Chains A and B, each alone.
Chain A
Amino acid sequence: MLPALRSELLKFRRWSVLAGAGVMIAASAGISYLTFHQITSGATGRELTDLIAAFPTTLGLLAVVGQARSLIIAVTVIMVTANIAAEWSQGTLRNLLIREPRRLRLLAGKMGALLLFVTVSGTLTLVVSAALIISLARSQGLSTEAWTSAEAARASLAFALNELVCLAGVTILGMLVAVLTRSAGAAVGVALAYVLVPEGLVAMVWLDASKWLPVRVFNYLPGSVMPVGIGPTPPQGYVAALIVALVWMVIFIAVSAVVFRRHDVVT
């Protein structure tokens, strides 16, 4: 698997890949800034109540930076599905399979590289956004003592780790969609649509069932560290949510492996 992973990392030199990470970092920093500005400019509104309450606490920084999580998930899904499905769309998959016919190794190497990339991008995104908000707060004479305390550091680490597990789940979901659709355009469309729409619709009509759906479960994990009211906190409890998240990942990996191993490469 290591040759496949190293081979995949060579492909990250493409501007399109780096641009995806850049968009994630920049857009997330932008959303964090807007949220910070809304709070510090005295804006009011029901949606801000919990944020304003959490702002001066040890979880205040997390609450602000965490507002970009939906965007981070969306950008991750786009990057992953486009990257994998493009191998079919541009026909490069056949070159890869001739050189590495053990398909599961190829897929594992590709996923390993993508997970690494998402981990680095996600971490950078959080760090850049946090650094931006801290420096903005200090420039406006606001105290950041609570945000940089030991308790805040522990919460931030827990949040970051859970966020990375969430992104891993989304990445693996993206792999499944790409393997099933085998077209960059279709993969991005289907994955994005799934992340944004169906689970929310299910939640509107059957809330109890919706808490077990994959993207919601992935999102509960970092949400469990967030201040109350911001979340989303896992209604089934953190441990149950984590187990279900891992089960979904295993299912996605298994289906992807079976489909990828058997299908004919005719493009």
Chain B
Amino acid sequence: MPSLSTRNSSRTPGPNGTPAIATNGLSKRFGPRKAVDGLSITVPSGTIAGFVGPNGAGKTTTLRMLLGLVRPTEGGATVLGIPLSDPPSYLPRVGGLVDAPTFYPSLSGRTNLEVLAQLGGLPRSRVDAVLETVELTDRAKDPAGRYSHGMKQRLGLAMALLPGPELLIVDEPANGLDPLGIIQLRDLLRGLRAQGKTIFLSSHLLGELERVADWLVVLNEGRALFCGPSSDLLDRRRELVVEADEPAQLDLVARIAGDAGYTINREGRSLRIACPIGFAEELDRRVRQAGGARVVTHVIGADLEETFLRMLQNDR
């Protein structure tokens, strides 16, 4: 069976060919524990890239390294083409939200944003703009400590959007949002992508990622299990169900699929073959070449959740 080895896709990066993020053997050790272990990934410009992995996989540590909060132990990276060792050069073009959003609770939402705008040399008009984007204008003067969980999440997003970033790095942005908020977030991210921005977001909402992400990085125990277009990952994990009345027909199909290196499960008068969707046509051609009759095939899509769980199981 073709293995889903860690590889960077052949997908063409952004307009100027520079990936938004490129890491090379990036590692971080905390005492004896290696939180990130030789991570080599790329994230093309102008994409929404999902970053998934179980708790403790190293996602937040990776994001913190990219945002200059944590120094790598080994390896390097570039962000917007600039070395990781030079955060003052790239961070003005990056927006970040790591872990739960944090504020000065006794200051208003507006003042919290003004503190960061002043610090980053950004005009005050940016504060009004991001408050409107996240729909917090009406409550902007209230102390941030009185905000609901969802409002705090939106304020955190506003903080990340303040510099009008080319690259947005966000950790669980949908956390605490109601369904409408999640839809609005999805639209916001797609809107940013349409403007040519890159979004690198870590999320446990695999269903949401499947809807919005066109690039995926799967992390486990500090190592990348997959890095590439989400369609590559999902297409490879689709299953072909082949039905035939004749057992001999099924045997023929099983032999052809087995020779091609795919895993087969037999269930009564049908076979389930884990293979790329494109194999259906190839299978049909080879069966007829071997003198068999046409077989009935259905495609069952593996969703990101199933794919993710299977990858983790295979990695153990």
Contact = CB atoms under 8 A, between A and B. Distances in A.
Nearest to A265: B69
Contacts of A101: 68, 87-88, 91
A3 B69 CA distance: 20
A98 B111 contact: no
Interface residues of B, number: 32
A100 B121 CA distance: 9
B70 A266 contact: yes
A13 B111 contact: yes
Name, among B100, B104, B105, the residue most crowded by chain A CB atoms within 10 Å (CB to CB).
B104
A92 B67 CA distance: 14
A229 B49 CA distance: 72
Interface residues of A, number: 28
Given A101-B68, A101-B91, A11 B120 contact: no
B70 A96 contact: no
Contact of A10 (B70, B114, B120, B159): B114
Contacts of A16: 106
Given A92-B102, A95-B159, A101-B88, A11 B67 contact: no
A90 B70 contact: no
Contacts of B71: 262, 264
Interface string A78-102: 0000000000001110111111111
Interface in B59-104: 64, 67-71, 87-88, 91, 94-96, 98-100, 102-104
A91 B99 contact: yes
A16 B121 CA distance: 26
B116 A95 contact: yes
Interface of A: 3-4, 6-7, 10-11, 13-16, 90-92, 94-102, 106, 109, 262, 264-266
10 tightest CB-CB pairs across the interface, nearest first?
A91-B102, A101-B87, A7-B119, A99-B120, A7-B118, A265-B69, A264-B70, A98-B96, A99-B119, A14-B106
